[in-house]
Structure 1
């Protein structure tokens, strides 16, 4: 929790030093920090993926309305300061006192619930929120260990929980082989039970786990966890701690709720498809500044979020899947559905910055995180955003020129 507090603080300080506001279409660690803060405050229920899409924009607007800031959905200096003031005190208090009680939430509460469940004191869902059910479980544990039964998990209670877990031999519900669980506060290879089963189902929902869910945490489950952690910027160790569990659960629920209405039999591109036409979609999204990931041909959550951002910008229903109307809006036709290198996209005003040295791209990305490099016969340049309307492109170009970049608007 202390590391998370420091990380979020540094992220907000980094944002505050930038002249450009973060807005829909941006991506990167600064957006991730904003999403985490808004989620902590109860305004954001979407995935923590670092992509500033319509869900993040709506959450920002709600926060701005609550703080009586003009609700424009962009995170400028005033909103940055308000977010920092709203989140930082809670983080500092939590990290300094290290006390979990009714109303607490986050990865530490998730670990507490998992630990009490392993010890047999907690039967409720692992939610990361400290409610009355968690409080009663803490009281039962404290009574059994002759501690002050106040329902507050302070330093002493947490230490006794850790000691109890460390001294508890694993059984069929926690491990294989009868050894001591090296990570009693997390799910890891060797564990078994209903939590592992739910983990596997969530990973299957996100297309990371292809085997039959059994409730046994083996090498296949570990590999799936590692791939998920790499994709979402987490420590890729295959250990499901509170942060990884929350990320997997949140994204699985989001995918389940937002893939409704997508019918592959109707020709739509839905989550899980792996095909040449997905390559065409990813290439079109990249050329328009919505997608800065590797072109894989796999329609995962990152591609879905990029599509939803594009749909919002294009005035379409942001479903996150590609129907015929979205396919046409992307400038794609049946002639380039096999993933050609140059989809026909019309009316594109692109902000470009000529590449002068090896640092140009990274320097631009400090202000436009989704920028990417392009090689052309006329010279290499950085694509700092594509727009349908020239005034929007000129505004981005002017902002970059104010920062010392040789930015200009070109029509492609």
Structure 2
């Protein structure tokens, strides 16, 4: 009997346990079918999105439960999800960023929703239309820039056939397909920002894969590197074959054989032999001064030998900035050069430690640079040049001369615009030279030394822009130079009435073609620039880009379109009926639009989360305008969290930004941000490169941050640095109101 009772009790206990288990496992039943179904997730169109935590969860530094614990996030806390990979989500919580397990947060399904068609964006890029040297391309355009665009679209799989230099219906269709695939408004127009992304970023091809294209950018001065291809490469190879450095026929691809030929050419012609066809190398290759492989090079005469010779650098400088804590091959290159110059005595180990930083500071101080221990472009320009001073060497004193005070300099001159003159050196001089190079007044590289060539270039710039010609770069000269309306070299100061002598016909009646050089070519290029067929400056070298421009003009005038400027073409160009690239008969009015600064009345004060964030997501390429100086630069926004992360698009954009800030600093400034839909918002930014970098050729070793207005509660939840930016924004907004 007792055994029976025990069995009954045991059976009862088992039944109760089963009931409890059944209650603990809820089953969601469909009312329609009665079958089990999974929880339906809320759908969003893209990352990042806002959600909440289910329970208290650990925020980790990496995707691992063993990584550093950054913060314990409470249950039902609001977080921002930037990405999900496997069982981990990359999130932001207040001022913290890290990773949490997806089991403990409310996930949402990211599904791209077809966007409502957006209005055609404003094509004019205010305040600076010519972003990094790119010209706006649309249906009806012709020339070398179109050829490069077509080759790039062919490479990406959006266009079939061959590049013919005519922007027709097929090219427009391919551009629209490219824009749609890369989340741009489908306008069929390639503005400067989209072209910068096409050539320098990682665009998606027709299959949706992110790639870096090999087609060379049409912007003047771009260096050719292994794998680049295009018409410019073909022209370079043809010239190397003529000079005896390369055998066979042009392949159109910058391959190993071409690199070897360039190295040989550079060595024979007294250039740094690194195999990279930079602007200086390309210009010399196509010039009459190029020394052939079979010729004997004439030794260069040094007018004033240095008292103690500086060891000549044997390697090219690193491309990225280096600072304390960095490691790798670039650091070794830096250490070797400092050792050659007797500043560094340690082991070349590729580690940027205290001894390397100390040696670098000593070099910078001795060579008139800012002794900050960071190796950037200004430091490289001098460190890897023959003019670098070795340790213990005293520079030859400059001749004593009476210097007339610059008319622009006053006792109240702004500290951010230091007057620069002959024999000055350092970062400010290097930035000045880069700006003069970009506008066509100075050739070569920015070495940070204010010598005779820089004086000559400054005078030419001052003359073209209606300033006092004294060769000294004071505040007024620099404000015009770095502003959005500076005239390029060879541009007319005023539009004069057309007369019979307005444009001189080249003195020579002989035909001009690829390989021709001299003043006749320069006159031809100036005319083509005026008529809108050629971009950039007139350098006197008849290259592939000039040939394409001539061909486009001949086609417009119904002449034989062979790219050779013969007597009929030259006569037509010199006539009053020469047709501009916009189809209207004119001989003196350039087709480029004049860029203007945004109006203070258009600037909006809008909350980042409620308004600006969505605009930045739709228009990731924008213009930052510093309203205090009138200087602007182009940016690409790539991340949207509590603020926007961005990079300058080109090296010229970096130079402009650093000019505004006086270098790299965390101290923010209030700015106006102009998006490509024409909207303008008040914001703040700094110039300190840090962490992630995508664009590798912009001389900016990382990215910067862009902040927009937020509520006091939002600012407080983020932290002190957000408070500082908000204060700067509010002060900038007050100034903006006074400018209306």
Q: Which has the higher helix share?
A: 1
Higher RCO (C-alpha 8 Å, min separation 6) = 1
Q: Shorter chain as normaliser: what TM range? A: 0.3 to 0.5
Q: TM-score, normalised by structure 2?
A: 0.21
Higher strand share: 2
Bigger Rg over Cα: 2
